[in-house]
């Protein structure tokens, strides 16, 4: 059973701090990784995708991928109250003809003014 695990939280950080969200996955051959943000009562929206080991930066967001250790993380710099949301990690396994995204349950983040 391919799995994706995230700490459910809630993770609470003060405004301006760095929020660090982690995601581990069980399928070692996974190649594609996605971070989505979901505000309460809304649908998930893509923050970023990452496919190669290392860091990928987009504005205040940085995704970090370590395939050897089978984890992907999301760093949010200068956290704002508007970043308060649930962050979903999704992983695309590598094997099989009809691959589908495997989703974590999400980490709830609260940024305190």
Look up tokens 């860091």; give the residue. Answer: 55
- Name the one range near other proteins by CB under 8 A: 12-20, 31-39, 61-69, 77-85: 31-39
Comparison of 19 and 89: residue with beta carbon closer to other proteins: 89
Comparison of 49 and 64: residue with beta carbon closer to other proteins: 49
Chain positions 33 to 92 lying near other proteins, rule: CB under 8 A, are: 34, 36, 42-46, 49, 51, 88, 92
Which among 96, 28, 21, 27 is positioned nearest to 61, based on CA atoms? 21
Q: Considering the complex, what minimum distance in angstroms separates the CB of residue 113 from other proteins?
A: 26
Q: Considering the complex, what minimum distance in angstroms separates the CB of residue 106 from other proteins?
A: 6
Q: Considering the complex, what minimum distance in angstroms separates the CB of residue 45 from other proteins?
A: 7
Q: Considering the complex, what minimum distance in angstroms separates the CB of residue 4 from other proteins?
A: 10
Comparison of 52 and 112: residue with beta carbon closer to other proteins: 52
Burial of 13 (0-12, 13-18, 19+ CB in 10 A): middle
DSSP string, 75-102: EESS--GGG-EEEEEEEE-SSSSS---E
Question: What's the start-to-end Cα distance of the chain, in Å?
Answer: 40
């Amino acid at each position: 059973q391919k799995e994706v695990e995230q700490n459910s939280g809630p993770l609470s950080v003060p405004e301006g701090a760095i929020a660090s969200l982690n995601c581990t996955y069980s399928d070692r051959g996974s190649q594609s990784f996605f971070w989505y943000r979901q505000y309460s009562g809304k649908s998930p929206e893509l923050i970023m995708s990452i496919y190669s080991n290392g860091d990928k930066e987009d504005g205040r967001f940085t995704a970090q991928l370590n395939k050897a250790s089978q984890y992907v993380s999301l760093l949010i710099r200068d956290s704002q109250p508007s970043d308060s949301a649930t962050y979903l990690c999704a992983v695309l396994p590598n094997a099989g003809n009809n691959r589908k995204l495997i989703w974590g349950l999400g980490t709830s983040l609260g940024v305190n003014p």
